[in-house]
A and B are shown apart, each in its own frame.
Chain A
Amino acid sequence: MSSRLQHHAHPVSILQNLYQVLYLLLIPLIRGFLSALQGGFRAWLSGAWLDILVLALFLGVGILQWARLTFSYDREGIHLQRGVLYRERLFIPMERISTLSMLNLFYLKPLGAVHLRADVPGGSHRDSDFSLTVSRRVAANLMATREKARNPEPHKAIYIPRSVYIALLSLFTSNSLAGVLFLSTLISQTGRLLGEEFAEGLFGTFETLARRLAFGIPPAAAALGYLLLFGYLLAFCVSILRHSRFLVERHQNTMYIRYGIITNRYYSLGVQDINYLDIRQSLFAKILGFSSVFLHVVGYGRQQKQEISVLVPAGKNRESSQIIRGLLPHLKPSDITIRSGWISLPRFLTDPAVFCLGIPLLSYLLALFFPEWGDFIHFVGWMLLIPALWFLAVRLVDCATSGISKEGKNYTIRYSSGYYLHKVVIPEEKISQISLRQSIFQRLNRRCDLLLYTYGEVPKPHLVRNLPQNQVLALFGLHTTLGKERRRAKEKPSNV
């Protein structure tokens, strides 16, 4: 018999459990429908006992599931038992938890409940290994228990970014699609509540506005442009609300990150569990001398649409470096020693060149086949050419800066992915696979692409293009293995 104090989930979990057995409500629904067809109200009333029984069963399942779920915690870990017919026992050692997070969702605040999640390096990459709605007091105690277990000393450093940096982060990370999706959901839901006429009225107003504000451009293109702009602004505002009151606190072995106004998020990350540090810049941020710093830890930023695994939302390059030195001195980036160099320019420009040449060609051909849509096609073609040229500029900068180096036990790599330039610091022990890829053209000048895979639940390759092969092999200590291999292969390839 365990002496640890057993806890239940918060009673609001009963409602969350009911969601899983919602199908039971089909029985009274179908019965009501059949009664209405056959006998009317009297026939329905005579069988009402069945509905009451089903509803009781419906509620009973939820309550039973809640009652059968208990958990306890101590310095060793979290113990959990659950299940009515199928019993499940779970133990998560405290030292294995890479991220313990507490989400204080706005609709749970009046009930004093929070959503508690624990993640270990393993298991499903979609869901947390442990996820429960518990009372705020219990969650705070669990967090404090982990803190005591990991950090005998008080905090070492605190970082609170300026509000303008939160705005910059939102500026760079917001995307139109999220805003447009949010907007369309909002309008359709409003339409459902206030009547379809209201939603249609909103769409109609938007159409009229788009026509009036077209200013010479095709109205359909104007509508698309305004929709994207509005979506972006909306996503920007949501992001600012989400990341306000950002605070990072570094303790001996743990790092605490908290942010949010409406929904408060609170994370406790193991410093040794950080897989890599990513200093990210868009081209615009690079020109202005700004950068954002992101962390990769299993469990932090899990819900990609709502959470960002940020450490420094934005800051001047020097400022970001100082913050990294203060919070994570063991993950200081080093200067690149092995570079791709300008000799690699064709390798870097191939992809953007396809877009830069392909888009005008495609729009020209489409306009030939559909002359009545000519204006629209040309307009969209020109508009699409702008991101293609931007991509070309990113790759030019990437060509000048990309490369790899090693200092102490950390590798620093610089590369670009999409429209972002990355400077990534990876501890040696967090590399799960090193892959070198060499095309026929790269064989001629002994160059190769490097794909570094890091620890995590999902394979995440970092691609550095066109590096000198021999230097890369030497950096990773692979030249000896492959040197022996080549010599032996020349002598006699051995088969089983």
Chain B
Amino acid sequence: MQTRHVHPRAIVVWRMRLTLAALVPSFCSALFFPVRNWIWTAFTALWAGVYLFLFVVYYPIKYKKLTFALDDRYLVIRCGVFYNRVKAIPLGNLQYMTLLAGPLQRLFRVCSVQFICAGGRVLLPCVGQADAHTLAQLVEGRTAPGEEASSS
């Protein structure tokens, strides 16, 4: 299986999740600081800054760097924004894998794949459903490694 990025809709999912999470600090700043003073300004600047940074910088880089590949020995995941990470899981020690999909992920027809090893687990977020099923087949040995998943 050649190197793949996660699904392009992953960025949309992450950004939407971030926007939903941002409702909490925005609600807090409205509720707890009825008078606009320096604390309100600092608090709002902080969360808005973090929000903008994640939205504009962090998630695009995360998407660009998040790739996965499978050969006859390893499942290799490359990721990381501040740190470059390479995670290699020997296929012989892979116990099983789980497909996870929240409401947002289901809406955008993507899912996360969790690989369970004897002594750890690795999460591959927001993979396209076709890729997830191909991964499942390859890992379970139904399809010989090296065969390409049909791109949709």
Q: Which residues of A contact B (CB under 8 A)?
A: 121-122, 275, 429, 431-440, 443, 448, 453-460, 473, 476-478, 480-482, 484-485, 488-489, 493-496
Q: Is A433 a contact of B8 with CB atoms below 8 Å?
A: no
Q: Is A435 a contact of B87 with CB atoms below 8 Å?
A: yes
Q: Is A481 a contact of B71 with CB atoms below 8 Å?
A: yes
| A residues less than 8 Å from B48 (CB atoms) | none
Q: Is B93 a contact of A432 with CB atoms below 8 Å?
A: yes
Indicate whether A494 sits within 8 Å of B151 (C-beta atoms), given known contacts A429-B93, A456-B118, A485-B3. yes
| A residues less than 8 Å from B86 (CB atoms) | 434-436, 448, 473, 478, 482
Beyond known contacts A433-B120, A453-B117: 9 more, CB 8 A cutoff: A122-B118, A429-B92, A435-B85, A437-B85, A458-B119, A481-B69, A482-B76, A495-B4, A495-B151
Q: Is B7 a contact of A495 with CB atoms below 8 Å?
A: yes
Q: How far is the CB of A414 from chain B (nearest CB, A)?
A: 21
The one of B7, B87, B119 that contacts A454, using a Cβ cutoff of 8 Å:
B119
Q: Is B90 a contact of A496 with CB atoms below 8 Å?
A: no
* Interchain CA distance A54-B78 in the complex, whole Å: 62
Q: How far is the CB of B48 from chain A (nearest CB, A)?
A: 26
Q: Is A121 a contact of B118 with CB atoms below 8 Å?
A: yes
* Interchain CA distance A496-B87 in the complex, whole Å: 21
Q: How far is the CB of A244 from chain B (nearest CB, A)?
A: 33
Q: How far is the CB of B46 from chain A (nearest CB, A)?
A: 24
Q: Is B8 a contact of A495 with CB atoms below 8 Å?
A: yes
| B residues less than 8 Å from A477 (CB atoms) | 73-74
* Interchain CA distance A457-B121 in the complex, whole Å: 11
| B residues less than 8 Å from A485 (CB atoms) | 2-3, 67, 69, 76, 78
Indicate whether A489 sits within 8 Å of B120 (C-beta atoms), given known contacts A434-B87, A439-B83, A494-B151. no
Q: Is B83 a contact of A432 with CB atoms below 8 Å?
A: no
Question: Number of contacts between A and B (CB, 8 Å)?
Answer: 118
Residue of A455, A481, A489 with highest tally of chain B CB at under 10 A: A481
Q: Is A436 a contact of B85 with CB atoms below 8 Å?
A: yes
Q: How far is the CB of A99 from chain B (nearest CB, A)?
A: 15
Judge if B37 is at the interface, Cβ distance under 8 Å: no
Judge if B27 is at the interface, Cβ distance under 8 Å: no
* Interchain CA distance A245-B117 in the complex, whole Å: 38
* Interchain CA distance A473-B76 in the complex, whole Å: 12
Query: Could you give 15 example pairs across A and B, Cβ below 8 Å?
Result: A275-B119, A431-B93, A433-B89, A436-B84, A438-B80, A439-B83, A448-B86, A453-B117, A456-B119, A459-B120, A477-B73, A478-B76, A488-B2, A494-B2, A494-B3
Find the B residue at minimum CB distance from A428: B90
Q: Is A433 a contact of B87 with CB atoms below 8 Å?
A: yes
Judge if B128 is at the interface, Cβ distance under 8 Å: yes
Interface size band for B: 35 or more
Q: Is B117 a contact of A433 with CB atoms below 8 Å?
A: yes
Q: Is A481 a contact of B74 with CB atoms below 8 Å?
A: yes
* Interchain CA distance A440-B67 in the complex, whole Å: 19
Indicate whether A493 sits within 8 Å of B5 (C-beta atoms), given known contacts A434-B87, A438-B85. yes
The one of B74, B78, B84, B152 that contacts A496, using a Cβ cutoff of 8 Å:
B152
The one of A436, A455, A476, A482 that contacts B118, using a Cβ cutoff of 8 Å:
A455
| A residues less than 8 Å from B82 (CB atoms) | 439-440
Q: How far is the CB of B81 from chain A (nearest CB, A)?
A: 11
Q: Is A432 a contact of B89 with CB atoms below 8 Å?
A: yes
The one of B84, B119, B121, B131 that contacts A443, using a Cβ cutoff of 8 Å:
B84
Judge if B122 is at the interface, Cβ distance under 8 Å: yes
Q: Is A438 a contact of B120 with CB atoms below 8 Å?
A: no
Q: Is B118 a contact of A432 with CB atoms below 8 Å?
A: yes
Indicate whether A493 sits within 8 Å of B74 (C-beta atoms), given known contacts A121-B118, A432-B120. no
| A residues less than 8 Å from B117 (CB atoms) | 432-433, 453
Q: How far is the CB of B98 from chain A (nearest CB, A)?
A: 16
Q: Is B3 a contact of A438 with CB atoms below 8 Å?
A: no
* Interchain CA distance A435-B84 in the complex, whole Å: 10
| A residues less than 8 Å from B4 (CB atoms) | 494-496
| A residues less than 8 Å from B152 (CB atoms) | 496
Find the B residue at minimum CB distance from A458: B119
Q: How far is the CB of A468 from chain B (nearest CB, A)?
A: 14
Judge if B130 is at the interface, Cβ distance under 8 Å: yes
Judge if B136 is at the interface, Cβ distance under 8 Å: no
Q: How far is the CB of A404 from chain B (nearest CB, A)?
A: 14
* Interchain CA distance A266-B112 in the complex, whole Å: 44
* Interchain CA distance A437-B118 in the complex, whole Å: 21
The one of A122, A438, A488 that contacts B84, using a Cβ cutoff of 8 Å:
A438
Q: Is B119 a contact of A496 with CB atoms below 8 Å?
A: no
Judge if B88 is at the interface, Cβ distance under 8 Å: yes
Q: How far is the CB of A284 from chain B (nearest CB, A)?
A: 31
